[in-house]
Amino acid sequence: MPRSPSRRPLGRLEAEVLAALAGLGGSARTAELVERLDGDPAYTTVNTILHRLHEKGLVSRTRAGRHYHYRLAVDESELVAGRMHEHLRHASDPVSVLNRFVRTLTSEEARHLRELLEGPGERE
C-alpha cells in the first residue's frame, strides 16, 4: 500500500524528479526525465527514484512496452508548499527564515506574493 506523502519528507532527488515531471506536463518516461535533470543522473538512479515515488503514491505508472510511463498523482504546488511549511516548522526562528526567503524573491515573485496576501482569495 502506498505511503502517505506527508509521512516522510521527500529527498532532494525525489523533489527534482517530481519537478521535472511537472515541467514535462505531468507525464513522461524515465529517459525523458534523465535528459531533463541536472547533474547527468544515471538512468537506473532515476528509475529507482520513480519506483520509490510510485510506492509513496506520488506518481502513477502504466506499462509502455518494456518500460513505464509515469504521471504525477499529486499536485506539485501542494507538495512544494508542504516542504516549505515543514522547513518553517523546524526552524528555530521561522520569521527570520521567511524574511530571508522574501528578500530572495524576484520583483515579479514578490508582486505575486503581495497580490496573494492582500487580495481576497481562497486560503488553504
116, 105 contact by CB (below 8 A): no
Quote the CA–CA distance of 56 and 33 in Å, as a whole number: 19
CA 40 to chain centroid, in Å, comes to 19
Structure confidence at residue 121 (pLDDT): 62
| Residue 4 DSSP SS3 | coil
Whether pLDDT at 43 is above 90: yes
Whether pLDDT at 124 is above 70: no
C-alpha cell at 116: 496573494
C-alpha cell at 19: 519537478
**Is the pTM of the predicted complex or chain greater than 0.85?**
no
Q: 70-114: per-residue pLDDT in tens?
A: 999 988 888 888 888 988 999 999 999 999 999 999 999 999 999
Question: Pick the residue with more confidence: 39 or 60?
Answer: 60
Q: Quote the strand ranges of 30-66, DSSP E.
A: 59-64
3-state secondary structure labels for all residues of 69-86: EEEECCCHHHHHHHHHHH
30, 67 contact by CB (below 8 A): yes
